[in-house]
Amino acid sequence: MVSHARWKLARDKKVAQGIAEDPEVERRREEISLAFDLGQAVHDRRTALGISQTELARRAGMTQPQVSKLELGGTVPTVPLLARLARAMEAMFRMELFGSSIRVTFTDVDGTTPEEARTEPPATERASAPAAGAEADAGSGRTAATG
């Protein structure tokens, strides 16, 4: 059996020699990478909010094992599920495509990323009005994403 390190080295050697990877393998690799990125974005937002997987599952109408599988990159969520997660985490979902790179984030309705959220001012200084706009923004994003 080939270890992961050996397999990666063999792939890198082929790439260095100019041997192209099968398009189906490349497509699957990109899908796996997207699943991991989406899972990491959900995990980052959930931990920034300080809620458990169980609480997120309750809010999004899922089960805790489904949230766990999603966070581990074991599944690529549908657009309706991403919208439910965004509402459950009081966030906007953003997917930025540039070249062959994809960046996914869940941000506060004011555009704050999970990293910035850790250094936010105390909750008493935050306005409560944006929370009402969160669903409107999530709905707008859904419309833009579907057509």
Mean pLDDT over 84-107 rounds to 89
Note the pLDDT tens digit of each residue in 7-44. 567 667 777 777 777 778 888 888 888 899 999 999 99
As a whole number of angstroms, the distance between CA 83 and CA 121 comes to: 27
| Stated pTM of the model | 0.62
Q: How far apart are CA 1 and CA 101, in angstroms?
A: 32
